[in-house]
Structure 1
Amino acid sequence: MSQPEAQTADAGPPGAGDRPQEIGFLLIPGFALLSFASACEPFRAANDLAGRALYRLRYFGEAEGRVASSSGVEVPTEGLPRERGHLHTLFICAGGEPTGWDRPAIHAALRRMARFGVRIGGISGGPYLMAAAGLLAERAFTLHWEYAGATVEAFPEARLTRARYVADADRLTCGGGVAPLDMAHRLIAERMGAAFARRVSDWFLHTAVGAADDPQRASAAERYGVHHPALLTILETMEKTVEAPLSRQAMARLASVSARHLDRLFLDKRGLRFSAQYRAIRLAHGRRLLRQSPLAIGEIATACGFSSAAHFSRSYRSQFGCSPSADRDLSAQTVDRTG
């Protein structure tokens, strides 16, 4: 694919200034390559379309060298920033498992840059590290939905939302995936105007720019392959009540159907009993916590609505074919090999 044709006619308003806006990306080993590309490529394209350097991109790691992405692609990096210089915004990009994100030097670097007045952003799992650094206290933020459970358990007071991206004063957070394209569109529009930002998005065939508060995931209807209103109400409620499961009768009342009809709906539309579906949702949540948090197995059992660690372990083995401790050990070995 050829580079965008340089055009200067509508490169942006005079107020955009001549100095390139410097944007940094602090990469954690195993960062999601798609999320990273979706975040940095719009700024590169903006430079090409404007025919001048609107943005300067810098890439940082814990040390000077190279940082490998989730797919093994390596990005050359500078060491952690010590001085602000001209740095305007610093995004931290993280993927993989939060068990590999205990990185005090990076937390300290984020706090240092925040004190210097640098706008701090997080992409995919990056906001988790921002929270660990104490930079999201009383701030609304988002991150990839896969990490939501571990984040809430680690930071109970967190003001976590399920938006695609969130701008709260000098903090920017984004769910990752292709959502950084939407966030970059907004940032470019703020500096260069909506028409220019539209040209950048069109270059990436990004014709439907998402709003900040658009959902991260497909609807329950798409995820479960059902369209019955009562069943959708119940499935969505199941996902929200993993810690304190509701009874079959309570769910039936919520959906305005009888308990017997509720049973028929699950068998007909899902091929599962009500209890089996609810248990599967709770166990999937437990598996995420097991792999992404340091919580003890007994604590995870409680967070998933099980009466005891033994009950949770028996159900877990039946669902996934291995014990919770064995699954956690396997996940830790994987992190060690890739971290």
Structure 2
Amino acid sequence: MTKAHTLTRSLVFFMVPQFTMLPFSAAIDTLRIANRMLGYEAYRWRLASIDGQKVYSSCGIGVEANTSLTDERRCLSGETRPSMVIVCSGIDVEQFNNKSASAWLRECYNRGIGVGSLCTGAHVLAQAGLLNGKRCAIHWENLPGFSEAFPQAEVYADLYEVDGNLYTCAGGTASLDMMLNLVGQDFGDSLVNRICEQHLTDRVRNPHDRQRLPLRARLGVQNAKVLSIIELMENHLAEPLSLLDIADEVDLSRRQIERLFRQEMGRSPARYYLEIRLDRARHLLVQSSMPIVEVAVACGFVSASHFSKCYRELYHRSPQQERAERKLTGGSLIRPALAA
């Protein structure tokens, strides 16, 4: 038999409560289609949970597990040892803290088993200490809280990252891209193209393609200068630039910037800058346990009292109330868009 007909991989998908269904199903279905195209079971998988019981996704659908963490620890030295384990998580991942899961993931990695994550699963890998000094990807909405909680991880707003034997992806359809990358390593581009045809997708995206829509499409703004200014603002949230600094960077006067923002954004540049800093603060309040004073500093506020005043004016609740409310919404974040 040729290598193409002897190569096999065994994967374990570890399901964290409230995992997101789309990246989970996209990953598994990519492997299913690969097997179908190859004509043999090149990829095998099983589903694991902490206790071997059913796990419910964020959409309320329960998925039966095949094994528990105790079972998987035994498998590490037997014939059913996996080639890769992939953590599947989703909303409220910050509330998941299981020492047994962390120890198992570290043991897998130390034994040379590939370790990966879908959606917000990088948080679980970082909690296990596997991402220190490593490149990783996480969903853009969770990136602010993640980068504050795990400063030693090199996190990027990419679709997926592969750093040695560590695989992380941002979730959504990025799971498809990461799994196609894996299949391509094993069997080449021809099989990847056939799987794409089955998925009705015309290409495998580059891992460094952006997660979010470009600013132009996201905001409906066409003026290149305004877009450049907003990008500057988004890149300087902890230490906000003055309007004079921004004017120097984009080669415009303060008056010109003021006029452009009134025309394009319906507000002053100072007001818009404040809103995007508060938007980041809201993510940190919902997705991390950072003290409120640290959230204020991370978002460029000189005092907690000024931060609270601005926050209440925009969101009609205090930062303390925002944090308390997340317990009632399962950690989800529904926020008004920064629109005119």
Per the TM superposition, whether the score is higher than 0.5 is: yes
Q: 1:72-151 maps to which residues of 2 (within 5 A)?
A: 72-77=60-65, 78-80=67-69, 81-82=72-73, 83-84=75-76, 85-151=80-146
Say what the alpha-carbon RMSD is for the aligned residues: 1.6
CA contact (8 A) 1:231 1:255 kept: no
5+ residue gaps in structure 1? Answer: 1-12
| Residue 17 (structure 1) shift | 4.5
Q: Do the aligned residues in 1 keep the contact of 2:137 with 2:169 (CA within 8 Å)?
A: yes
**Any idea what the Cα deviations from partners look like across 1:60-92, whole Å, max 9, x if unmatched?**
111111111110111111211213233001110
Deviation at 1:16, TM superposition (A): 3.1
Give the CA deviation at 1:234. Answer: 0.8
Distance (whole Å) between structure 2 residues aligned to residue 165 and residue 38 of structure 1: 14
1:319 and 2:319 are equivalent in the alignment: no
For residues 6-30 of structure 1, give each alpha carbon's deviation from its aligned partner in whole angstroms, at most 9, with x where no partner exists.
Answer: xxxxxxx921343631111111111
TM-score by structure 1 length? 0.92
Task: Work out the CA distance in 1 between the residues paired with 2:32 and 2:94.
Answer: 32
- Contact 1:230–1:256 (CA<8 Å) still a contact in 2? no
Give aligned-pair identity as a percent: 32
SS at match of 2:11: strand
SS at match of 2:131: coil
Query: Which one of the candidate residues 38, 43, 52 is aligned to 2:31?
Result: 43
Specify which of 40, 45, 53 is matched with residue 65 of structure 1: 53
List alignment gaps of at least 5 residues for structure 2. 333-340
Measured after TM superposition, the shift of residue 297 of structure 1 is 0.6
Shift of 1:48: 1.9
Tell me, in whole angstroms, the C-alpha distance in 2 between the residues paired with 1:99 and 1:178. Answer: 22
Q: What is residue 236 of structure 2 aligned with on the other side?
A: 241
Partner of 1:6: none
Amino acid at match of 2:15: L
Q: Match of 2:68, SS? A: coil
* Aligned mate of 1:291, from 286, 289, 292: 286
The residue that corresponds to 1:251 in the other structure is 246
- Deviation digits for residues 21-58 of structure 1, max 9, x if unmatched? 11111111111111111211100111122222111111
Letter of the 1:252 counterpart = A
Amino acid at match of 1:99: E
Report the CA distance between 1:267 and its aligned residue: 0.6
Mapped partners of 2:199, 2:317: distance in 1:
43
Counterpart-to-counterpart distance in 2, 1:263 and 1:159 = 36
* Contact 1:316–1:323 (8 Å) recurs in 2: yes
Following the alignment from structure 2 to structure 1, what is the Cα–Cα distance between the partners of residues 60 and 288?
A: 24
Distance 2:93 2:283 in 1: 10
Q: So what's the TM-score if we normalise by structure 2?
A: 0.92
Work out the CA distance in 2 between the residues paired with 1:42 and 1:218.
25
Report what 2:15 is aligned to.
27
Alignment size in residue pairs: 325
CA displacement at 1:162 relative to structure 2: 2.0
Structure 2 vs 1, CA of residues 19 and 190 (structure 1 numbering), >3 Å: closer, same or farther? closer
User: In structure 2, the residue corresponding to 1:245 is in which secondary structure?
Assistant: coil
Cα distance in 2, alignment partners of residues 72 and 172 from structure 1: 27
Matching residue of 1:173: 168
- Summarize the Cα distance change of 1:336–1:195 in structure 2 as closer, same or farther, 3 Å threshold: closer
SS, match of residue 83 in structure 2: strand
Supply the distance in 2 between the matched residues of 1:60 and 1:109 (Cα, whole angstroms). Answer: 12
Cα distance in structure 1, aligned partners of 2:117 and 2:91: 14
Q: Which SS does the other structure have where 2:329 is aligned?
A: helix
SS at match of 1:125: coil
Partner residue of 2:42 out of 45, 54, 57: 54
Amino acid in the other structure paired with 2:68: G
Deviations 1:281-313 (A, max 9, x none): 000100000011110111100111111111111
Can you list the C-alpha shifts for 1:106-143, whole angstroms capped at 9, x where unaligned? Answer: 11121121122210001111011111101112211111
SS in 1 for 2:54: strand
Which residue identity does 2:107 align to in structure 1?
R
1:191-213 CA deviation, whole Å, 9 max, x = no partner? 12211111011101011220111
Partner of 1:8: none
- Structure 1 residues 126-163: Cα deviation after superposition (integer angstroms, max 9, x where no partner): 01111110111221111111111111111112211222
Residue number in structure 1 paired with 2:159 = 164
Conservation of the 8 A alpha-carbon contact between 1:142 and 1:161: yes
One-letter identity of the residue aligned with 2:144: G
Q: Which residue of 2 aligns with 1:220?
A: 215
- Alignment check: 8 A CA contact 2:5 2:40 kept: no
> For 2:197, what is the secondary structure of its paired residue?
helix
| Aligned residue in 2 for 1:275 | 270
Match of 1:230 among 213, 225, 228: 225
